[in-house]
């Protein structure tokens, strides 16, 4: 007989995380509230992850391991969606952790609700073990109208983009036929956009219960990407179309989406200066000039406002097309990300409202 007191499935997706998966699963064993299930989906790991998952699950009955051929994180998550039999689920990457009171906090929100979506804060775990908090805020939205009235604020908070800091409802996922796109970049944003489109109620939790491993070596979000600028352009157009579809006036969202795109162009410039980019300095500089001169970059720069230290450094020279200045700043930012992660995180997240 199924325990109806269990409302949550924690979905752990794993691909070659042999050095982190034990700590991830240990954080689940150490939960103060045991009312949850764990579905561990190994996405065809070729290291010792499967053996460590089996060993961990052998003495913990609520762990259900599933082993798949490698298909990417979207395929692993979609498989988990088809196997989840609880009303709610939370995604947890195999190299991250939850705080020990995470499930207790989530069950408290469920008891207080129901809410279509609950969002919580997260903390970056820096390479030296220190924590850098990216906090949430306590706020409740009881209608679609209330959500739309605060739509820009919600996305500007920086908490809407990841699938891993949210409590999703399976009823909405099934009714709307939602799934993760088979892409290797931006799949979280697309899923969260689609899910929020269906929400009538929304709860932001004050707690930061997700521990994110900052600057993951080789992760899709930090490795050099040859086509990152093109992807960011496409994402900007998709976000603009999304805000239009949701009925948000352009006068309300224009500054935010403009600033958002400029921030991502800055990330593209940093990406060009990644140590993994083997192009010559001359070619890197040429590509950065093209990004700065792009019509969307310059149009967005007109409306973007300074917010946070990172934007204050770079917005003015970018608007003025001071190519060499911006290029040199990109070199400094790439160095900071690699060698000074705490400083980089502060520069990045002080922009958040």
Give SS3 for 41: strand
**Continuous H helices in the chain:** 21-29, 49-58, 73-83, 102-112, 144-149, 151-156, 170-176, 187-197, 228-245, 250-272, 281-293, 295-303, 308-319, 323-339, 341-349
d(CA 170, CA 35): 17
212: tokens are 């994110």
Domain spans, the chain: 8-213, 228-349
Query: Please, which residues bridge with residue 133 across strands?
Result: 123
Question: Would you say 43 and 15 are in contact if contact means Cβ atoms under 8 Å apart?
Answer: yes
As its CATH architecture, domain 8-213 has: Alpha-Beta Complex (3.90)
Residues 6+ apart with CB under 8 A from 331: 273
Residue 163: half-sphere exposure toward Cβ, Cα within 13 Å? 31
Give SS3 for 249: coil
d(CA 39, CA 245): 35
Tens of pLDDT along the chain (353 residues) come to 345 689 999 999 999 999 999 999 999 999 999 999 999 999 999 999 999 999 999 989 899 999 999 999 999 999 999 999 999 999 999 999 999 999 999 999 999 989 999 999 998 887 777 777 777 889 999 999 999 999 999 999 999 999 999 999 999 999 999 999 987 778 999 999 999 999 999 999 999 999 998 755 444 445 788 999 999 999 999 999 999 999 999 999 999 999 999 989 988 998 998 888 999 999 999 999 999 999 999 999 999 987 666 667 788 889 989 999 988 888 877 766 655 555 555 555 444 43
d(CA 228, CA 244): 24
Residue 215, judged by CB atoms within 10 A of its CB (0-12, 13-18, 19+), counts as middle
pTM over 0.85: yes
């Amino acid at each position: 007989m199924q325990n109806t007191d269990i409302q949550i499935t924690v979905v752990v997706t794993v691909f070659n995380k042999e050095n982190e998966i034990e700590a991830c699963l240990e954080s689940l064993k150490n939960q103060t509230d045991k009312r949850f299930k764990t579905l561990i989906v190994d996405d065809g790991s070729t290291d010792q992850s499967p053996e460590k998952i089996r060993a961990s699950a052998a003495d913990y009955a609520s762990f259900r391991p599933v082993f798949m051929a490698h298909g990417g994180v979207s395929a692993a998550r979609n498989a988990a969606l088809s196997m989840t039999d609880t009303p709610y689920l939370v995604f947890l990457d195999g190299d991250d952790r939850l705080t020990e009171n995470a499930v207790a906090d989530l069950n408290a929100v469920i008891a207080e609700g129901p809410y279509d979506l609950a969002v919580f804060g997260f903390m970056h775990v820096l390479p030296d073990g220190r924590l850098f908090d990216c906090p949430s805020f306590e706020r409740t939205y009881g209608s679609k109208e209330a959500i739309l009235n605060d739509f820009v604020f919600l996305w500007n908070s920086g908490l809407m983009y990841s699938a891993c800091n949210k409590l999703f409802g399976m009823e909405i996922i099934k009714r709307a036929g939602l799934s993760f796109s088979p892409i290797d970049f931006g799949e979280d944003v697309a899923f969260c956009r689609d899910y929020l489109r269906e929400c009538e109620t929304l709860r932001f939790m004050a707690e930061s219960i997700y521990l994110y491993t900052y600057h993951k070596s080789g992760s899709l979000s930090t490795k050099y990407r040859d086509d990152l600028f093109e992807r960011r352009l496409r994402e900007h157009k998709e976000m603009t179309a999304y805000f239009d579809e949701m009925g948000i006036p352009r006068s309300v969202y224009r500054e935010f989406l403009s600033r958002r795109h400029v921030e991502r162009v800055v990330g593209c410039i940093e990406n060009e200066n990644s140590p993994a980019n083997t192009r010559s300095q001359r070619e890197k500089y040429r590509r950065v000039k093209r990004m700065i001169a792009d019509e969307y970059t310059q149009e967005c720069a007109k409306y973007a406002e300074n917010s946070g230290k990172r934007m204050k450094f770079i917005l003015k020279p970018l608007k003025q097309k001071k190519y060499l200045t911006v290029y040199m700043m990109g070199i400094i930012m790439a160095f900071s990300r690699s060698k000074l992660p705490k400083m980089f995180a502060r520069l990045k997240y002080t922009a958040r409202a």
